[in-house]
Amino acid sequence: MIGKLRAWLAQRREWRRRWRKRNKKYARWLATHPGQSYAQFYVEETRRQIDAGMMTYSNIGLDVDIGFMNKRAQGILEAFKRAGCQPHHVVVDYGCGSLWIGEAFMNYLEPGNYVGLDVADGFYAEALTRFPEGYVAERRPMLRVISQDSLREVRDRKPDFILSTGVLMHVPPEDLAGYFARLTAVALPHTRIEIGYQATLFSGWEPPRFWSHSRFAIGSALARLGYKARYAARHRIVPTMQGFALVRR
């Protein structure tokens, strides 16, 4: 028992050390990037770690387990099909990253009907280099950096589905409401929204680079926007994936 307590205390000290280090790094970055967001800091820091060989088999960048990513993407696409997604529908991939999910949807949807949004263009620009010549011109994906202008542009496309998976874990608590506000800004009354994320009992930081969000925190952020989270499988598009659907209150 004493040994377990000592190990727990040591882990807590290490987490506090990492927390202080992360905060100092973010503060230095903000000093040279005034007005920018934590999301942009995260993208730059992740790119630095990948380039330095400190991070592999993530869902962003090209250094991934391609077989796993393709299988995962196909599973999500098949679930969307079962939920009624058809080639003529417009699907928004909010936090599209390196287009591993996007590629499956681009292959299925009619040209121009896949929309990828992200906080920076670095990873999806990199992803375009892996496609064969002529593929992008043929499938015509709409790829945009998230901004007020691009959100209005996407809303004008009248999206039928919005998917955001592997994103919420990177959103700090202070931007939780902003994340949902930007995401729902492109939705119309008929739009189905699916969030891939495992809500936790408590909100907090999960070293070295993830955030946990409780159902209470998620519900509070959504209530201000006139939405609520539905966790039951019957409300979900991808019930086999941890997450929840957003529905209007």
CATH of the domain at 103: 3.40.50.150
Question: Among 42-46, 106-110, 122-126, 178-182, which stretch is predicted with the lowest mean pLDDT?
Answer: 42-46
Residue 73: is its pLDDT beyond 80? Answer: yes
User: Which whole number is the average pLDDT over 26-33?
Assistant: 74
The answer to whether position 126 is within a domain reads yes
What total number of domains does the chain contain?
Answer: 2
Check if the beta carbon of residue 80 is closer than 8 Å to that of residue 91: yes
Angle at 234 between CA 200 and CA 116, to 5 degrees: 70
Q: Are residues 1 and 124 located together in one domain of the fold?
A: no
What region does 57 belong to: left with phi over 0, alpha with psi -120 to 50, or beta?
Answer: left
Closest CA to 238 of 173, 190, 166: 166
The stretch 32-43 carries a mean pLDDT of 71
User: pLDDT grade, residue 49 (50/70/90)?
Assistant: low
Say yes or no to pLDDT of 46 above 90. Answer: no
Q: What is the pLDDT of residue 14?
A: 66
In a domain, 243, yes or no: yes
pLDDT band at 203 (very low <50, low <70, confident <90, very high): confident
Do residues 236 and 160 share a domain? yes
Does residue 174 sit within a domain? yes
42 belongs to a structural domain: no
Query: Taking 60 as the threshold, does the pLDDT of residue 56 lie above it?
Result: no
Kindly state the percentage of the chain with pLDDT values over 90: 59
In terms of domains, do 106 and 224 share one?
yes
Residues 120 and 224 in one domain: yes
Question: 162 forms bridges with which residues in the sheet?
Answer: 92, 193
Q: Is the pLDDT of residue 47 over 80?
A: no
Residue 202, pLDDT score? 86
Does residue 48 fall inside a structural domain? no
Is 60 exceeded by the pLDDT of residue 59? Answer: no
Report yes or no on 116 lying in a domain: yes
Q: Given this model, what pLDDT does residue 112 score? A: 97
Query: Is it the case that residue 228 has pLDDT exceeding 70?
Result: yes
187 assigned to some structural domain: yes
- What pLDDT, on the 0 to 100 scale, is given for residue 54? 56
For range 119-133, the mean pLDDT: 89
pTM of the model: 0.84
Q: What is the overall mean pLDDT for the chain? A: 87
Is 60 contained in some domain?
A: no
Give residue 5's domain range. 1-35
**Are both 196 and 154 inside the same structural domain?**
yes
Same domain, residue pair 22 and 76: no
**Token representation of residue 71:** 């299988």
* Shared domain check, 119 and 25: no
Q: Is 204 helix (H, G, I), strand (E, B) or coil?
A: strand
Is the pLDDT at 40 greater than 80? The verdict is no
> Residue 49, by phi and psi: left (phi above 0), alpha (psi -120 to 50) or beta?
alpha
Across 186-210, average pLDDT: 89
